[in-house]
């Protein structure tokens, strides 16, 4: 289990100010172009300096692929192989000719290399492959927030941003302690203790706990 340094939480009155500044200072993001999960992300707002969900992620990124990611794969000179593909819930890519490729935890560049290795030399000689992530998997927030559900992920998000997108705390919420369910690179679910400043990752399930009266 990962340990996250606990910092002083933002009081309820302070959170209202954070939410107001967050909502006023950021632009609305475009909805995802393709559905990548059973629950359509609600869409949200982009924290200052963050990359919007519509921006592509190229081969040089260290972004880790997971179930629900949608990408554009280009095999140069092979229009029948070029197109948009989505990873299934287990992070597996189904690709023409070579069948299934386990992409969970790979970067886009690593997936390129895996596809090249499977295509050469049986199907193509020295293939050139490019992978760009078009739509990242959403994150989820449940528990004591006003609008629980799935939301479009943007890079640089913190738990406090996710709470703001979900409409803020309910009156029953514990405002200083949360946990996140997160899949590791092998697809195994882990539980991460979190606070308001903990970074959010695609596919995370953020649980806002109920406080004791």
SS3 84: strand
pLDDT in tens, 145-183: 999 999 988 888 999 999 999 999 999 999 988 999 998
**∠51-53-56 over CA atoms, to 5°?**
80
Question: What are the sequence ranges of the domains in the chain?
Answer: 12-52+137-210, 70-135
On the question of pLDDT at 141 being above 50, the answer is yes
Return the pLDDT at 43: 42
The larger pLDDT score, comparing residue 27 to residue 148, is at 148
User: CATH says 12-52+137-210 is which class?
Assistant: alpha beta
Give the rounded percent of residues in the chain with a pLDDT score beyond 70: 70
Considering the domain 70-135, what is its CATH architecture? 2-Layer Sandwich (3.30)
Q: Return the exposure string of 109-145: e unless at least 16 CB atoms fall within 10 Å of the residue's CB, then b.
A: bbbbebbeebbeeeebeebebbbebbbbbbbbbebbb
């Amino acid at each position: 289990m990962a340990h996250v340094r606990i910092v002083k939480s933002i009081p309820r009155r302070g959170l209202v100010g954070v939410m107001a500044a967050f909502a006023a200072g950021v632009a609305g993001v475009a909805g995802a172009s393709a559905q990548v999960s059973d629950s359509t992300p609600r869409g949200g707002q982009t924290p200052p300096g963050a990359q919007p969900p519509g921006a592509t992620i190229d081969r040089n990124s260290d972004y880790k692929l997971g179930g629900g990611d949608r990408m554009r794969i280009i095999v140069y000179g092979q229009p029948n192989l070029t197109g948009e593909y989505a990873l299934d819930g287990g992070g597996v890519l189904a690709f023409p000719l070579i069948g299934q490729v386990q992409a969970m935890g790979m970067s886009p560049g690593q997936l390129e290399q895996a596809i090249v290795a499977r295509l050469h030399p049986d199907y193509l000689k020295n293939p050139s492959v490019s992978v760009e992530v078009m739509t990242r998997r959403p994150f989820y927030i449940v528990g004591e927030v006003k609008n629980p559900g799935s939301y479009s992920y943007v890079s640089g998000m913190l738990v406090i941003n996710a709470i703001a997108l979900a409409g803020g705390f309910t009156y029953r919420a514990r405002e200083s302690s949360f946990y996140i369910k997160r899949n590791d690179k092998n697809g195994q679910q882990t539980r991460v203790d979190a606070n308001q400043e903990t970074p959010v990752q695609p596919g995370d399930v953020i649980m806002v706990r109920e406080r004791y009266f």
